């Protein structure tokens, strides 16, 4: 590996490399050597920015959780426009069409990583828990606007959509479900509360 060459935004390059390794080879393939080789840097670069590999993985997951926070803001701001089904279909596709399914696999695969993340995500599985909050927050906003029934249990709807969405996207080896499959799930789940 080259040495003495400055990397621009090394943390982000290492995170992006880890995602590629994770998507290609799954949690078993994710090692510090695989990440630094994918990033095209010396192994010491990772250890210069992170105390150890477990710290790196925890920060990778926290970074991806932060992305869900930004996606949540955008989704909530869309309340009152378009259709509820379209927004939810898009949110699930964006969420699970990315690296989120692989990150969930990583978190469930590594007990120590899950334990480290308990401060960020005290309950549930990191990424899925934040995604559930995102959907519940959006549905609450739509309920306030009268586009979702006033008595709708948005927390249960969110759990149902995230769980079903995860199952729909997981294990497809890079071939996402057709948009109509996702839309069918969404419209079925919300049929009673968002006509």
> Is 161 in contact with 99 (CB distance < 8 Å)?
no
Q: Model confidence at 33, in pLDDT bands (50, 70, 90)?
A: very high
39 and 96 housed in the same domain: no
Indicate if 27 and 102 belong to the same structural domain: no
Q: Of the ranges 14-18, 47-51, 78-82, 108-112, which one carries the lowest mean pLDDT score?
A: 108-112
How many structural domains compose the chain?
2
Which residues, at least 6 apart from 39, have a Cβ–Cβ distance to it below 8 Å? 7, 13, 14, 16, 17, 45
List the CATH number of the domain containing 132.
1.10.357
> Is 121 a domain residue?
yes
Has residue 166 got a pLDDT over 70? yes
Band (pLDDT 50/70/90 cuts) for residue 7 is low
Residue 4 has pLDDT above 50, yes or no: no
pLDDT above 90 (res 120):
no
Same domain, 5 and 88: no
Could you give the C-alpha distances from 51 to 27, 82, 119, 120, in angstroms and in order?
Answer: 20, 46, 18, 18
Do both 44 and 133 map to the same domain? no
Q: Which residues, 6+ apart, have CB-to-CB distance to 84 below 8 Å?
A: 139, 142, 147, 148, 190, 194
Asked if 22 and 72 sit in the same domain, the reply is: no
Percent of the chain scored above 70 by pLDDT? 94
Domain that holds residue 79: 61-190
pTM (2 d.p.): 0.86
Task: Decide if pLDDT at 3 tops 70.
Answer: no
**Domain membership flag for residue 195:** no
Q: 22 and 97 share a domain?
A: no
Weakest-pLDDT range from 31-35, 121-125, 135-139, 181-185: 121-125
Q: Give mean pLDDT, residues 48-63.
A: 92
Q: Are residues 30 and 65 part of one domain? A: no
| Residues 100 and 157 grouped into a single domain | yes
Contact between residue 185 and residue 167 where contact means Cβ atoms under 8 Å apart: no
CATH number at residue 4: 1.10.10.60
Whether 55 maps to a domain, the answer reads no
pLDDT at 5: 47
Output DSSP code: residue 21: H
């Amino acid at each position: 590996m080259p040495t003495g060459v400055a990397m621009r935004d090394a943390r982000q390059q290492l995170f992006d490399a880890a995602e590629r390794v994770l998507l290609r080879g799954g949690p078993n393939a994710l090692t510090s050597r695989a990440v630094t080789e994918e990033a095209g840097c010396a192994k010491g670069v990772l250890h210069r920015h992170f105390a150890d590999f477990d710290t790196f993985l925890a920060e990778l997951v926290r970074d991806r959780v932060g992305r869900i926070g930004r996606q949540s803001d955008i989704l909530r701001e869309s309340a009152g426009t378009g259709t509820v089904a379209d927004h939810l279909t898009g949110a699930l596709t964006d969420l699970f069409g990315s690296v989120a399914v692989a990150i969930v696999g990583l978190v469930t695969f590594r007990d120590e990583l899950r334990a480290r993340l308990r401060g960020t995500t005290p309950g549930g599985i990191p990424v899925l828990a934040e995604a559930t909050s995102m959907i519940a927050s959006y549905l609450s906003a739509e309920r306030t606007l009268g586009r979702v029934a006033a008595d709708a249990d948005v927390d249960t709807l969110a759990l149902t959509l995230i769980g079903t969405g995860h199952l729909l996207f997981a294990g497809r080896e890079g071939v996402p479900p057709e948009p109509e499959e996702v839309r069918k799930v969404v419209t079925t789940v919300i049929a009673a509360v968002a006509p």
